Amino acid sequence: MNATIELEATGKKSNFEILPKVTPAGEISGEFLEVSMGPHHPSTHGVFRMDVTLDGERVVKLKPVFGYLHRNHEKIAEGTAYLASMPYTDRLDYFCSMTNNWAYALAVEKLAGLQVPERAEYIRVITAELTRLQNHACLCGFLLQDMGALGTPLMYAFREREKILDLFEALSGSRMMCNYMRFGGCRVDLSPGWIEETKRVVENFPRFLDEFERLLSENEILIARTQGVGVLPAPLAINASITGPMLRASGVNYDLRKADKYGIYERFQFRVPLGDHGDVYDRYMVRVLEMRESLKILQAALRDIPPGPISDPKAKVRNFRPKAGEAYGRIEAPKGELGFYLISDGSPNPYRYRVRPPSLINLTILEDMCLGHIIPDVVVILGSVDIVLGEVDR
């Protein structure tokens, strides 16, 4: 029988239970402790819960529980016009609205046969790589905060993020919910002086990265808390459809910017950083190295961006009705493969609208990474996954 601990002062049940431990022979030997972490636990990065079963301090079972933030995104999109869903994509991974916009626009462009002008392609690459910079910087800051480093790393990261959000605000009118991409291009052209200001941000970013790495990468506490912790073997990562920095930290060389060459990424020289062990430290280092590669892409794109139109003139705003058919558009978002699957029946609304969110897929192997570790390790492992509940629940 389950033994339930009650709070003496109120007589109410707490969020953990003591369960009898049963041996393979069916004998009871000791007890398991079942703990519910969340949905308001500070380590859970949003309204997310982990039901953890402990043998002493060791994790023997873990069940991710989500759905607290479900907003019916996909069903709403099937009842509204194609363009009207663009602002909803901002609310998926709300750290990365520019890349959310791009993935959706790419799917609709495939469905409708639209061509994107060259200047708009460069703008998309620039905004996507700026998004990658601020996402990875903040992830490293949050990860260190989960380890107990309160203040400095996260504030350093947010200081740099503010500069990038200022650029997004100058371009789109909004810092986070940008609603900037359009089918066949972008909503507005770059404002005067925007490229020069972006170049200044990009030129100064390596100084931040050098400073960040001196502070963190060889820190003995970070190394002790991350190396050998939360190992994700490459075969499991592949079989579980893990993508993005988590997959590459396990040593799998797969990046959609190289594999699909969507947009104009084939024009840029950059390498794909890979890890050796697939642990939390590798996931941290891969993101640091990816920021350095993003800077190379940004420098080239800002140097070579051409003049010209920013939208396909065939892209109609009113009475937009793609021909009947289906399309899947995907990009290498900061957290992994973000894809939109659309079916058109020739009406103004999608017949089917489905999102492939990297945060949700990457969460599916959380238990595998946590088994055998202790609770403080679980907090750090979850932090290294880099989730946003907006796209987990949709």
What are 349-394's pLDDT values in tens digits? 999 999 999 999 998 899 999 888 988 888 889 888 888 888 888 7
What pLDDT sits at residue 3? 36
Cα 296 to Cα 264: distance, rounded to the nearest angstrom: 14
Q: What is the DSSP letter of 189?
A: P
**Tokens 């794109």 found at:** 301
Point out the residues of the chain with pLDDT beneath 50: 1-14, 16, 26-28
For residue 316, the surrounding DSSP H or E stretch is: none
Cα 362 to Cα 314: distance, rounded to the nearest angstrom: 38
Cα 394 to Cα 47: distance, rounded to the nearest angstrom: 13
Q: Cβ–Cβ contacts within 10 Å for residue 193, how many?
A: 9
Cα 328 to Cα 110: distance, rounded to the nearest angstrom: 8
Max Cα distance, the chain (Å): 76
What pLDDT sits at residue 42? 53
What pLDDT sits at residue 27? 46
39 prior amide bond cis, ω within 30: yes
Cα 251 to Cα 237: distance, rounded to the nearest angstrom: 10
What pLDDT sits at residue 354? 93
